[in-house]
Chains A and B, each alone.
Chain A
Amino acid sequence: MSGAEAGTQPVTVLETPIHLDYVFTPGIAQSIFLRGLARGVFLGQRCPTCGKVYIPSRGSCPVDGVATDEVVELPDTGIVTTYCVVNVPFAGQAVEIPYTCAQVLLDGANISFMGLIQEVPADQVRMGMRVEAVWVPPDELGPSLASVKYFRPTGEPDALYESYEEYL
Chain B
Amino acid sequence: MSDGDVLVANHVLDYPYARSVGPVLGAFFTALSEGRIVGVEGSDGAVIVPPTEYDPLTGEDVGELRDVGPGGVVTAWSWQVAPGRKHHLDHPFAWALVRLDGATTAMLHVVDAGDPGAMATGMRVTARFRPPAERRGHVLDLEAFVPEPDGGGR
A residues in contact (CB < 8 Å) with B = 1-3, 6, 8-28, 30-32, 34-35, 91-92, 143
Question: Is B11 interfacial (CB 8 A cutoff)?
Answer: yes
- Which stretch in B28-36, B103-111, B122-130, B145-153 binds the other chain? B28-36
Binding site for A on B (CB under 8 A): 1, 5-21, 25-27, 29-31, 33-34, 36, 38, 65, 67, 86, 137-138
Interface contact A3-B30, CB-CB below 8 Å: yes
Q: A19-B14, A35-B7 are in contact. Are A1 and B27 (CB under 8 A)?
A: yes
Q: Is the CB of B8 within 8 A of A24?
A: yes
Known A-B contacts A2-B65, A6-B34; the reply to A91 vs B7 at CB < 8 A is no
Assess whether B13 is in contact with A13, with CB atoms less than 8 Å apart. Answer: no
Shortest Cβ gap from A94 to chain B (Å):
14
Contacts of B30 in A (CB 8 A): 3, 8-11
Give the total number of A-B pairs whose CB atoms are below 8 A apart.
101
Please determine whether A16 and B18 come into contact, CB atoms closer than 8 angstroms: yes
Measured between beta carbons, the chain B residues less than 8 angstroms from A3 are 30-31, 34, 36, 38, 67
Q: What are the residues of chain A within 8 A of B19 when measuring CB–CB? A: 13-14, 16
- Shortest distance in angstroms between B23's beta carbon and chain A's nearest beta carbon? 9
User: What are the residues of chain B within 8 A of A25 when measuring CB–CB?
Assistant: 6-9
Write the nearest CB–CB distance from A60 to chain B, whole angstroms: 14
Q: Are A21 and B137 in contact, CB atoms less than 8 angstroms apart?
A: no
Q: State the CA gap A6–B108 with chains docked (Å).
A: 26
Q: A1-B27, A8-B30 given as contacts; is B21 within 8 A of A91 (CB)?
A: no
Closest to A15 in B: B18
